[in-house]
Amino acid sequence: MLRGVAGRRTDAQARETRRRIVERAADIASRDGLDGITIGRLATDLELSKAGVLGHFGSKQELQLAALEYAVEVFRASVWEPARDAPPGLERLLAICEAWAAYAEDPPFSGGCFVATTSFEFATRAGRVHDELATVGRRWKRALTAEVEIAIEAGELPAESDADQIAFTLDAVASGTKPALYLLGDDTAPRRGLRAMRQAIGVDEAVVATR
Amino acid sequence: MLRGVAGRRTDAQARETRRRIVERAADIASRDGLDGITIGRLATDLELSKAGVLGHFGSKQELQLAALEYAVEVFRASVWEPARDAPPGLERLLAICEAWAAYAEDPPFSGGCFVATTSFEFATRAGRVHDELATVGRRWKRALTAEVEIAIEAGELPAESDADQIAFTLDAVASGTKPALYLLGDDTAPRRGLRAMRQAIGVDEAVVATR
DNA sequence: CCTACCGATCGGTAGG
DNA sequence: CCTACCGATCGGTAGG
């Protein structure tokens, strides 16, 4: 057998292969969940052997965790990064919501938001993937809550605003948009999601209370 | 082999067995999705043979469709039935939201809302399960929209209210509540979900717009 | 509704 | 990163 053809790769080649596997795994998971990832499917898609795929991670769970880490980084780059230079408070909060809507409209994965899909999939399970998703979710909700609190302290939102409630609604609307878009085929969903977020924050024309 | 012990059952016994399988399958799917259902797991849990389980449905897909039909009926009985006698319009819409919050707080399945979980799971797939979920989802959204429209026509909500937008937000908030409750372990989620729904409708004290 | 199977695929390992 | 395996489990069938 010729080394360099079917044998071991250089470190740089190995890293590149690993990256391809992780990207593909994350894309599969955005559609079919982290359990939709199988070693055999990845091997076929990427023209590798199963052992060639698994060797980079050691176990399927490690592969799932690597896909999750990558998808979280993509989420951060798509939703947080475009807003980070906006002034903290209301303006940055709205920039985050707009970046999120753009992310929903033109997603980096073929199945839309990876985090939303896998958060449902692992909501009631035990184990490291669940724990990592919970950590990521709590961190994101804390960041949203903090942003609302800055806006309240700056007087950009009413002092009696409930930061936890607003952060909850933003998060719920964001994840709840996926089935509207993909299952029901409503392509106005990202726009409606953004409008729902703006209403939750209080910058959209709210429907007037009648009682 | 003794018939009546390990052989064929009477029609009534067979129906009862089928019902047990469907209930168990729906409960598993509420946690692990419709793909989390396996014939072998059901057989072990219910102390049946795999052929005994499968014989009632013919294929796994038919079993999934039966579980879905059952779960939709449970949803209808939990969320629509308690509200059906309320006066049509705003009052009935709020009754639906309250019934939904009670359903989220004390769910009939161990993994919470079956419909929310499986709507994410099958959002980007093809096939009969996807199609049936899409039909159910559209029907439910139409019912919510119609209820909002009745409220608008009755003057209970402002004439310029956007019924589609309100129905979208109600649905998104409802499904988005599951990860807050189960993944993040926030047991205030059903209450916050109800409050988000009331704000979307316009009957909760809205945060005042500042720009 | 059971036993006794079937081929396919799963995650994973040994050894090069 | 490959070939060649492993036991376990998958959905499903034959026949009673």
pLDDT digits (tens, 9 = 90+) for A98-136: 999 999 999 999 999 999 999 999 999 999 999 999 999
Model pTM above 0.85? yes
pLDDT at residue A6 in the model:
53
pLDDT higher than threshold 50 for residue A210: no
Phi, psi of A187 (to 5 degrees): -80, 0
pLDDT at residue A28 in the model:
98
pLDDT at residue A12 in the model:
86
Determine whether the interchain pair A206/B206 forms a contact, defined as Cβ–Cβ distance below 8 Å: yes
Answer yes or no: are the C-beta atoms of A24 and A42 closer than 8 Å. yes
Of A203, A206, A193, A205, nearest in space to A99 by CA = A193
Q: What angle in degrees, to the nearest 10, is found between the helix axes of B163-182 and B128-153?
A: 120
Question: What is the b/e burial string over A96-110, where b = at least 16 CB atoms within 10 angstroms of the residue's CB?
Answer: bbbbbbebbeebbbe
Footprint of strand C on the protein (CB under 7 A): A 1, 7-8, 37-41, 50-51, 54, 58-61; B 6-9, 13-14, 17-18, 43, 47-52, 55-56
Bases of chain C with protein Cβ within 7 A:
1-5, 9-16
Within 10 angstroms of residue B12's Cβ, the number of other Cβ atoms is: 8
* Structure tokens belonging to residue B211: 């720009």
Answer yes or no: are the C-beta atoms of A98 and A90 closer than 8 Å. no
Write the CB contacts of A47 (distance below 8 Å, at least 6 apart in sequence): none
* Residues in chain B within 8 Å Cβ distance of A168: 180, 186, 189, 192-193, 196
SS3 content of chain B, % helix, strand, coil (to 5): 70, 0, 30
Cα distances from A106 to residues A94, A99, A181, B181, B194, in angstroms, run: 18, 10, 12, 28, 30
Per residue in A58-94, pLDDT (tens digit) is: 999 999 999 999 999 999 999 999 999 999 999 999 9
Cα-Cα-Cα-Cα dihedral sign, residues B119, B120, B124, B128: negative
Question: What is the b/e burial string over B138-168, where b = at least 16 CB atoms within 10 angstroms of the residue's CB?
Answer: eebbeebbebbbbbbeeebbbeebbbbbbbb
Per residue in B9-49, pLDDT (tens digit) is: 788 888 999 999 999 999 999 999 999 999 999 999 999 99
Please tell me the distance from the alpha carbon of residue A62 to that of residue B210, in angstroms, as a whole number.
47
pLDDT band at A7 (very low <50, low <70, confident <90, very high): low
Determine whether the interchain pair B156/A210 forms a contact, defined as Cβ–Cβ distance below 8 Å: yes
On the 0-12 / 13-18 / 19+ scale of CB atoms within 10 A, B111 is: buried
Answer yes or no: are the C-beta atoms of B139 and B80 closer than 8 Å. no
pLDDT at residue B4 in the model:
43
On the 0-12 / 13-18 / 19+ scale of CB atoms within 10 A, A5 is: exposed
Residue carrying structure tokens 């060639």: A52
* Residues in chain A within 8 Å Cβ distance of B134: 183-185
Answer yes or no: are the C-beta atoms of A130 and A61 closer than 8 Å. no
- With a pLDDT cut of 90, the percent of chain B lying above it is 89
pLDDT higher than threshold 60 for residue B6: no
Helix (H) or strand (E) holding B32: helix B11-32
Q: Which residue is nearest to nucleotide C3 (CA to C1')?
A: B49
Please tell me the distance from the alpha carbon of residue A178 to that of residue A157, in angstroms, as a whole number.
28
Answer yes or no: are the C-beta atoms of B178 and B117 closer than 8 Å. yes
Q: 3-state class of A156 per DSSP?
A: coil
pLDDT at residue B10 in the model:
84
Write the CB contacts of B203 (distance below 8 Å, at least 6 apart in sequence): A209, A210, A211, B90, B94
Determine whether the interchain pair B165/A195 forms a contact, defined as Cβ–Cβ distance below 8 Å: yes
Q: Which residue of B has its CA nearest to A176?
A: B172
Per residue in B94-112, pLDDT (tens digit) is: 999 999 999 999 999 999 9
Indicate yes or no: strand D within 7 A of the C-beta of B50.
yes
pLDDT higher than threshold 60 for residue B116: yes
Within 10 angstroms of residue A76's Cβ, the number of other Cβ atoms is: 13
Phi, psi of B59 (to 5 degrees): -155, 165
- Helix then strand count (H, E) for chain A reads 9, 0
Indicate yes or no: strand D within 7 A of the C-beta of B188.
no
